[in-house]
Amino acid sequence: MIDLKYLQNNFEEASAKLQKKGVDAQTLEKLKTLFAELKEANAALEAAKAEQNSMSKLFGQYKREGKDIAELKAKVDANKEAMVPLQEKAREAEAALYEVALAIPNFPDDSVPEGEDEDDNVELRKVLEPRAFDFEPLEHWALAEKNGWIDFERGVKLAKSRFSVLRGEAARLERALINFFLDTNREKGFEELCVPFMNNAQMLQGTGQLPKFEDDLFKIEDEDLYLIPTAEVPLTNLYNDEILKESVLPVLMTGYTPCFRKEAGSAGRDTRGMIRQHQFDKVEMVAIAHPERSDEVFEMMVQNASDILTALGLPHRVVELCGGDLGFSAAKTIDLEVWLPGQNKYREISSISNTRDFQARRAKIRFKDGKKNRLVHTLNGSALAVGRTLIAIMENYQNEDGSIEIPEVLKKYM
């Protein structure tokens, strides 16, 4: 959630920032009004409560002293009745405020480039040259079929469309990648965690998936549980509603989880193959950082993900997202796009974001800064999306006969 006090005191500036993310000034105007209304309603209610409390204290005193309480009782009853509409008003004001506030995306950093969509993203650098093929490289689904690696049909039979089954070498390669990623992240100082794959609504709200993006999530029937769309949710919320010691920052965490997404908004895109599935494996990095040092942590995370791709010999480029392409919670995001020679395209394989204090405010993650509590910064990034790495290896390491080499660094894991 954005800082409502900041919005109140710097409306023009805040409004300009959120325009980059396509939030119109009218919505913000409304939010500002709702915030002021809540404050007003609370002030009125609290004054009445203070009155009530002090009279109640007197009441006890009178009784002890054996004084007559009839008059006081009448006053206190009247005040109590007068409080009912105030109570109602405050409650309504709060509900109205949060309905709007929780749906407002994070402020982008000032450095974020202007732009509408992915076409306006800015390439920062390319790493490794794509390999020159002396034959026509195949797309991963063709290679999958040749090698018997991915069983799309039976995945659909078991669940529904956009589920698949990895078989034999592919399944082993998937597992090797997970281990390779986790080991690498651990060597960089990330603690490895194994977390629940279902989280409750409060956690999903903490990281920003709820209430606005409920349709993208798989919900467990009759339970307050959702399948996680990314390990960002459990890892970030590990410290939900906690106050950390400053000395433990930055907290660096990594974990492997499957991720579950309904992907309601992406119908029709990437229907072929394994790019966009309802379930996929991912190794995630999450950092809880001191607000003054989150930029360093961010750079480190980007470098780590890039280094992993380099170690695998996969050509990629580093792209900074423009305002229009930034996710809901992110203040700044850098994507790593891996080269897919079969598709002749760079495709997203990792997305690293600094959410500043946006998630921390929602999830109430703070640290002790001297005597005061301050919100931390939270960061997350894939290192890496496993299925897409598998695809990238298939397409980049293919031979003319359709066979696939195993990258050197993975051999000890196979």
Give the amino acid at 391. I
Single out the residue of 22, 60, 85, 265 in contact with RNA (rule: CB under 7 A): 60
Give the amino acid at 58. L
Q: Does 100 bind RNA (CB under 7 A)?
A: no
Single out the residue of 19, 30, 37, 55 in contact with RNA (rule: CB under 7 A): 55
| Catalytic member of 162, 261, 356, 366 | 261
Q: What SS3 class is residue 144?
A: helix
- What is the Cα–Cα distance from 218 to 281, expressed in whole angstroms? 16
Single out the residue of 56, 147, 279, 310 in contact with RNA (rule: CB under 7 A): 56
CB 259 within 8 A of CB 282: yes
Single out the residue of 10, 13, 47, 403 in contact with RNA (rule: CB under 7 A): 47
Shortest CB 52 distance to RNA, Å: 6
Shortest CB 107 distance to RNA, Å: 18
The helix (H) or strand (E) run that includes residue 142 is helix 140-147
Q: Does 22 bind RNA (CB under 7 A)?
A: no
Using CB under 7 A as the criterion, what x/- string covers residues 348-367 for binding RNA? ------------------x-
Closest alpha carbon to 238 in 284, 278, 281: 284
- What is the Cα–Cα distance from 383 to 255, expressed in whole angstroms? 10
Single out the residue of 243, 248, 264, 414 in contact with RNA (rule: CB under 7 A): 243
Q: Does 122 bind RNA (CB under 7 A)?
A: no
- List of residues 6+ apart from 242 with CB closer than 8 A: 364, 365, 366
CB 93 within 8 A of CB 35: no
State the first-to-last Cα distance of the chain, in angstroms, to the nearest integer: 44
Shortest CB 287 distance to RNA, Å: 21
Q: Does 266 bind RNA (CB under 7 A)?
A: no
Single out the residue of 10, 33, 53, 271 in contact with RNA (rule: CB under 7 A): 53
Residue whose entry in the numeric block shows the structure tokens 């309603």: 41
Chain centre to alpha carbon of residue 213: 11
Using CB under 7 A as the criterion, what x/- string covers residues 365-404 for binding RNA? -x-x----x-------------------------------
Question: Which CB atom, from 138 or from 203, has the smaller least distance to RNA?
Answer: 203
Q: Does 49 bind RNA (CB under 7 A)?
A: yes
- What is the Cα–Cα distance from 34 to 45, expressed in whole angstroms? 16
CB 257 within 8 A of CB 282: yes
Residues at the contact surface with RNA, assessed by CB under 7 A: 5, 39, 42-43, 45-47, 49-50, 52-57, 59-60, 63-64, 73, 76-77, 80, 243, 366, 368, 373
